[in-house]
């Protein structure tokens, strides 16, 4: 029998219905709590669905030490989260939704149909079946003076009492999908420790490409090349030359290092190896062969297969003297410095660096000094390359925050009302 002297408990509330928030909701519901989820958008999981458009890379199959190393400076904090829910556990969880996964040639893990929508559909059904109530078109505006959650919805503003709240509001990129980073101001007012959001897995701008390069080659892919930052071993792959600079998977892989170099010194550098499978001396030998009346451009094409955007970029970034000297040109072909001066805007990035610092959270991701308020997902201060690492940490942190919130609530309740 409920104790009539005890008022009914308010629900556990999750704000933000991306992967992190929905995972927190699932954990709270599994703990037997009434859960209400609020999201600003007309439908949930929009970024998750977008991530599925080009093939939903949900996690990675590499060995754990390499996997956790991807979180670089936040490896220690993310390790603590992954110990509760790692890549294998995530795959099992997906299988539990009736969706198979497979490992691609690169070690990346995908749902068998590569899509996000069937997974999200099955998950939402399971959440609703366990009683989770999802409210869309509800934008969180902060707290009322009495401590209730303020939510703007089409009919005006609601105040919602919450027994516990998990904020899973995402980063600051692709604002049109819902995660606009506006929570930064709301949490800063409460003195929450936040590292400013910055682009991660992003493109970069150069000081300015020549008109020729922009007009003829913007949008052109550079394939079978390698990129490095000074002092690091090169990685093979491809990237795209843009009107303003460079973008694409291989650039994203170096984006944290380049962004930090720009932050420190005003510029960062990528070293482009146009022929990663040919040693520099072989290239120099090929270039030193007699070229007769052929131009150097024809010689490059004939001897080394360098033409199109690769040749144009080589010409753009080398001076006359280097271009005329086979040894110097060979060295340039192996390490062509591309100087980058700005990131592309945060809104265009795949993900955000920065966010709520772990130092301001306890082990259960509860904000220190704000009892009952937890944070999860991309809004936390960590970053990782693409490859499934982003989603894995979002799921793991959502689960940790949801479980810790339920546990905290149970501790509050013990000794008080049942
Ligand atoms: C193009 C693209 C492709 C990607 N591909 C991959 C991939 O293949 N693999 C991978 O691991 N990662 C990928 N990612 C990254 C991944 O999608 C995100 O890291 C992940 O969705 C973040 O989850 P989250 O739950 O923290 O936040 P989000 O998914 O951003 O969800 C946050 C939610 O909070 C809501 N919200 C925000 N503010 C408020 C407010 N004030 N009130 C109410 N609701 C609010 C938003 O509407 C949103 O629904 C990709 C990202 C992009 C942009």
**What is the token pair recorded at 276?**
């990663």
Residues contacting 15, CB < 8 A, separation 6+: 21, 37, 38, 39, 140, 149, 165, 166, 167, 168, 169
Domains (range + CATH), the chain: 12-200+348-413 (3.50.50.60), 204-343 (no CATH)
Tens of each residue's pLDDT in the chain, 418 residues? 445 566 668 999 999 999 999 999 999 999 999 999 999 999 999 999 999 888 899 999 999 999 999 999 999 999 999 999 999 999 999 999 999 999 998 999 999 999 999 999 999 999 999 999 999 999 999 999 999 999 999 999 999 999 999 999 999 999 999 999 999 999 999 999 999 999 999 999 999 999 999 999 999 999 999 999 999 999 999 999 999 999 999 999 999 999 999 999 999 999 999 999 999 999 999 999 998 898 888 999 999 999 999 999 999 999 999 988 999 999 999 999 999 999 999 999 999 999 999 999 999 999 999 999 999 999 999 999 999 999 999 999 999 999 999 999 999 988 554 4
Quote the ligand 1 centre to 20 CA distance (angstroms): 8
The CA 204 to ligand 1 mean position distance, Å, reads 22
15 lines ligand 1 (CB under 6 A): yes
| CA–CA separation, 109 and 56 (whole Å) | 8
Q: What is the pTM for the complete model shown?
A: 0.96
Q: Ligand 1 atom closest to Cα of 138? A: 43
pLDDT at residue number 418: 45
Q: For position 30, what pLDDT does the model report? A: 98
C-alpha to C-alpha distances, 295 to 76, 159, 326, nearest whole angstrom: 55, 74, 13
Q: Is residue 23 lining ligand 1, measured as CB closer than 6 Å?
A: no
Q: Which atom of ligand 1 is nearest to the CA of 44?
A: 49
Name the closest-CA residue to atom 31, ligand 1. Answer: 18
Which of 370, 293, 300 shows the shortest CA–CA distance to 329? 300
Residue 296: the pLDDT is 86
Report d(CA 167, CA 147) in Å as an integer: 15
pLDDT computed for residue 5 by the predictor: 61
Neighbours of 191 (CB within 10 A): 11
Half-sphere exposure for 48 (CA within 13 Å, toward CB)? 28
Cα 340 to ligand 1 centroid, rounded to whole Å? 27
Pocket test for ligand 1, best of 119, 170, 385, 401 (most atoms within 8 A of CB): 170
Cβ of residue 50 lying under 6 Å from some atom of ligand 1: yes
């Amino acid at each position: 029998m409920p104790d009539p002297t005890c008022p009914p408990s308010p629900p556990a509330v999750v704000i933000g219905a991306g992967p992190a928030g929905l995972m927190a909701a699932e954990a709270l519901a599994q703990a037997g709590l009434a859960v209400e989820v609020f999201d600003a958008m007309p439908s949930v999981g929009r970024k998750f669905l977008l991530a599925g458009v080009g093939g939903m890379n949900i996690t990675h199959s590499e060995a754990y030490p390499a996997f956790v190393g991807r979180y670089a400076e936040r490896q220690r904090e993310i390790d603590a989260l992954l110990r509760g829910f790692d890549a294998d556990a995530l795959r099992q969880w997906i299988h539990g939704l009736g969706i198979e996964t497979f490992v691609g040639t690169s070690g990346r893990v995908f749902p068998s149909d590569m899509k996000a929508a069937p997974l999200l559909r099955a998950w939402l059904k399971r959440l609703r079946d366990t009683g989770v109530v999802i409210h869309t078109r509800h934008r969180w505006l902060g707290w009322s003076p009495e401590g209730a959650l303020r939510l703007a919805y089409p009919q005006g503003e609601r105040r919602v009492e919450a027994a516990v709240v998990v904020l899973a509001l995402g980063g600051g990129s692709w604002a049109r999908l819902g995660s606009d980073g506006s929570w930064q101001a709301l949490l800063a007012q409460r003195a929450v420790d936040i590292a400013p959001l910055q682009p991660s897995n992003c493109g970069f701008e150069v000081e300015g490409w020549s008109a020729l390069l922009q007009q003829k080659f913007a949008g052109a892919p550079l394939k079978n090349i390698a990129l490095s930052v000074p002092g690091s071993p090169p990685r093979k792959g491809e990237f795209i030359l843009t009107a303003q600079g460079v973008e694409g998977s291989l650039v994203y892989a170096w984006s944290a290092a380049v962004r930090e170099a720009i932050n420190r010194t005003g510029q960062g550098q990528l070293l482009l190896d146009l022929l990663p499978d040919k040693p520099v001396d072989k290239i120099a030998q090929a270039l030193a062969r007699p070229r007769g009346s052929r131009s150097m451009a024809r010689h490059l094409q004939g001897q080394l297969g360098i033409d199109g955007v690769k040749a144009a970029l080589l010409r753009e970034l080398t001076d006359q003297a280097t271009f005329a000297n086979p040894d110097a040109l060979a060295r340039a072909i192996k390490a062509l410095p591309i100087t980058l001066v700005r990131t592309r805007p945060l809104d265009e990035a795949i993900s955000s660096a920065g966010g709520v610092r772990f130092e301001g959270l306890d082990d259960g991701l509860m904000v220190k000094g704000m009892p009952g308020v937890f944070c999860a997902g991309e809004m936390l201060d960590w970053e990782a390359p693409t490859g499934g690492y982003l989603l894995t940490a979002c799921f793991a942190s959502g689960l940790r925050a949801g479980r810790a919130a339920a546990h905290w609530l149970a501790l509050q309740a013990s000794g008080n009302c049942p």
